[in-house]
Amino acid sequence: MNDILVETRDLCKTYRSGSRITDVLRNIRFVIKKNEFITISGASGAGKSTLLHILGLLDDPTSGTVVFQGTDIKSFSEGKRSFLRNTAIGFIFQFFNLLPEFTALENVLLPALIEKDGNVAQKKERARSLLDSVGVGHRLTHKPSELSGGEQQRVAIARALMNRPEIILADEPTGNLDRQSGLGVIDLLKSLHSSSGQTIVMVTHNSALAGIGTRHLNMADGTLVTQ
């Protein structure tokens, strides 16, 4: 049975500004296996977030290939890419990206409502259950401005889990939190992996977090220098 979830082949990303060319990613080759918790560390500007955005179908490489569950994503229509972003990939961002006018419950529920199928009452119950599981079940009706940073990130994690994704991509998930809140988020991610085998890829510039997963990669100048 093939346990490779995502594979990159000679992945490159180049930006041009006038005559200036900047190579952000250079010939990235690696695989993500099901149930792995991969951490990718490196200094700011190393290309970590760019790589994560390409893995999450939020950006396209200049050259090279991303293979998702055995299929080259170049063959995906925009509709297929949108569907996968919403159902197969869960995103956790540094700045939470919660909708300010929605409550915690509504923010978590939103990915499920994009897909029209299914029972809305059951979806609401799952959203409530997820908020309970990440420790903010008592904040269902609060909007983001009424939550602490740590609470907002827990809501974001619940939202990422709402559609039972194949993989969670976490971009500096503790970067906007104080130390205690950050440790709580890391413990939550570790628990998700250990309890359910959730596949997670997390990028961070914090070298102290490099060893928390099952595999660590390091990036420098757009390349993976250790695997």
| Tokens 């104080």 belong to residue | 178
pLDDT value, residue 44: 83
Supply the Cα-derived Rg of the chain in whole angstroms. 18
- On whether the CB atoms of residues 79 and 150 are closer than 8 A, the answer is no
Residue-wise pLDDT for 76-85, tens only, equals 899 999 999 9
CB atoms near residue 168 (< 10 Å): 23
CA nearest neighbour of 85 among 57, 109, 53, 52: 57
- pTM (two decimals): 0.92
pLDDT value, residue 3: 92
pLDDT value, residue 227: 60
Beta strands, E only, the chain: 4-17, 20-33, 37-41, 63-68, 71-72, 89-92, 167-171, 199-204, 215-220, 223-226
CA atoms within 13 Å, Cβ hemisphere of 32: 30
- On whether the CB atoms of residues 90 and 160 are closer than 8 A, the answer is yes
Residue-wise pLDDT for 166-194, tens only, equals 999 999 999 889 999 999 999 999 999 99
Query: Which CATH superfamily groups domain 36-62+77-220?
Result: P-loop containing nucleotide triphosphate hydrolases (3.40.50.300)
Residues of the chain falling short of pLDDT 70: 1, 227
pLDDT value, residue 117: 75
Which residue type occupies 211? G
pLDDT value, residue 122: 93
pLDDT value, residue 115: 76
DSSP letters, 28-67, are EEEEEETT-EEEEE--TTSSHHHHHHHHTTSS--SEEEEE
DSSP state of 4: E
- On whether the CB atoms of residues 208 and 41 are closer than 8 A, the answer is no
